[in-house]
Amino acid sequence: MGEALAALPDPVFVLTESGRYAAIFGGQDRGYYHDGSCLVDFSLYDVLSREQADWFLAEIRATLAADCLRIVEYDLAAADVAGVDTNHGPAAPIRFEGRVQPLRSSVNGERAVLWLASNITTRHEIEQRLRRLSETDELTGVPNRRRLMDALNESLAKLDSENGRIALLIMDIDRFKTINDRYGHPAGDAVICAVCSACGARIKRRDLFARLGGEEFATVLYDITAAQAFTVAERLRETVAGVCFEPRPGEASQVTVSIGVSVAGPDRRRSHDLLSQADAALYAAKSGGRNRVVLAHECD
Ligand SMILES: Nc1nc2c(ncn2[C@@H]2O[C@H](COP(=O)(O)OP(=O)(O)OP(=O)(O)O)[C@@H](O)[C@H]2O)c(=O)[nH]1
C-alpha cells in the first residue's frame, strides 16, 4: 500500500489543523515536482514566508469548517520552500491546483486534511493567453468591448453611491467612410491604429481605453468629476486632430473625432444607462457639427 501511495504522480500532503506536515506521498516526477519529503514534521511556518503559511493555514481551516472537498489555485516556487532541493525539479514558479479534502480520523491528535497538489502550469498559461486574446482587439492590440464592459461593470458594482465618480467617453472618428472610400480599407485600418496609439498614450495608467468596434472607441476614467472628464475628452479630441497620417506617399491627412461623455452617479449606476447616455451625447456631438465633445447632462 505504501509503495502504491509513493508511486502517485502528484504529491499528496497530510497537513494538520495547526499547519504541520504530517506525511507526504507521491510526486515522483522530478521534471514536474520537487522532493518534498524533507518537510515532514515541520510546520508551514518553518518553511514558508508568514504570508504564504497564513494562506495555507486559512485554506486548511476553511476546508475543515466546510467539511467537503475544496479546490484552490496558487503559485509556489521551490525557492519559496526552505529545505527543498531546488536543483532537482522545475526552476520557475509552479502554478498548482490544490484539492483539499478533510480526513475523517485525526492525525497526531489533530484534525487534518489531505492536500493533493497538481502542477497545472501549462494549462494555466494557455488559459491566461486565451483570456488575454479574448479581451484584446485584434487590429489595434488595445482592450476590446468585452474587456471594457467587464471593467465598467466591476467598477460600477464597487462604486460608493455617495461618491460615484466614473466617467465613460465614447469616441467616433468623423466621416470615416470617406477615408475608406478614398484611400482603401488598409489605410482606414492604419488610421484606426494611429488613433488608438495617440489616445492610449494620453490617458492615465489606471484608466482604460478600448476599441468598441469599427471606428468607435471608449474610455473609462476613474475617480473623476464631469468637468474633469470633459477636459480629458477635449484633450483626446485635440490629440487626434493633431495626428498626421499618410494615406499615400507624400500625402498628409488628418481626422477628427466626436466624443460623448457620461458620468456615473447615484441615479446612473448601470453600465447600460452610462452607455446610452454617452451614445446620446455622441449623437449630439455628430449632429452639432462633429469634431466636438458633448457632456451627457447637456442633452438630458
Ligand atoms: N478600415 C476599416 N473600416 C471600418 C472598420 N470597421 C468599420 N469600418 C468602416 O467605418 C465606416 C463607418 O461609417 P459610418 O458609420 O457611415 O460613419 P462615418 O463615415 O464615420 O460618419 P460619421 O460617424 O457620421 O461622422 C464604414 O465605412 C465601415 O465600413 C475597420 O475595422 N476598418
Q: Give the binding-site residues of ligand 1, using a 6 Å CB cut-off.
A: 139, 172-177, 180, 185, 188-189, 192, 214-215, 286, 290
Quick: pLDDT tens for 21-51: 999 999 888 888 998 999 999 999 999 999 9
299 pLDDT higher than 50: no
CATH 2.40.50.140 fits 135-299, yes or no: no
Domain with CATH 3.30.70.270 in the chain: 135-299
pLDDT 10s digits, 198-241: 999 999 989 999 999 999 999 999 989 999 999 999 999 999 99
**On the CB side of 285, how many CA atoms lie within 13 Å of its CA?**
32
Contact 269, 277 (CB under 8 A): no
What CATH number has the domain spanning 2-129? 3.30.450.20
Q: What is the pLDDT of residues 89-104, one digit of tens each?
A: 888 999 999 999 999 9
pLDDT single digits (tens) 129-161: 999 999 999 999 999 999 999 999 998 888 765
Q: Whose CA is nearest to atom 13 of ligand 1?
A: 177
Cβ(113)–Cβ(63) under 8 Å? yes
All CATH 3.30.450.20 domain ranges in the chain, comma separated = 2-129
The predicted structure's pLDDT at residue 300 = 45
CA of 176 to the centre of ligand 1 (A): 5
Place of cell 475608406: 180
Q: pLDDT confidence of 248, banded at 50, 70, 90? A: confident
* Collapsed DSSP state (helix, strand, coil) of residue 98: strand
Q: Distance, CA 193 to ligand 1 centroid (Å)?
A: 14
Which residue(s) pair with 114 in the sheet?
A: 14, 101
Q: Considering the chain, what is the average pLDDT of its residues?
A: 92
186: Cβ contacts below 8 Å, ≥ 6 apart: none
What distance in Å separates the CA atoms of residue 5 and residue 114, rounded to the nearest whole number? 13
Closest among 222, 212, 189, 224 to 259, alpha carbons compared = 212
The atom of ligand 1 lying closest to the CA of 181 is: 27
Q: Which atom of ligand 1 is nearest to the CA of 185?
A: 1
Q: Which pLDDT band, with edges at 50, 70 and 90, does 4 fall under?
A: confident
Q: Is 120 helix (H, G, I), strand (E, B) or coil?
A: coil
Q: Give the pLDDT score at 266.
A: 65
Q: What is the number of alpha carbons within 13 Å of residue 142 lying toward its C-beta?
A: 25
Q: What percent of the chain is predicted at pLDDT more than 90?
A: 76
Residue 268 has pLDDT above 90, yes or no: no
Q: Are the C-beta atoms of residues 136 and 43 closer than 8 Å to each other?
A: no
Q: What is the pLDDT of residues 165-181, one digit of tens each?
A: 899 999 999 999 999 99
Q: Distance, CA 258 to ligand 1 centroid (Å)? A: 13
Active site residues: 215
Among protein residues, the one with the nearest Cα to ligand 1's atom 16 is: 177
pLDDT at 50: 97
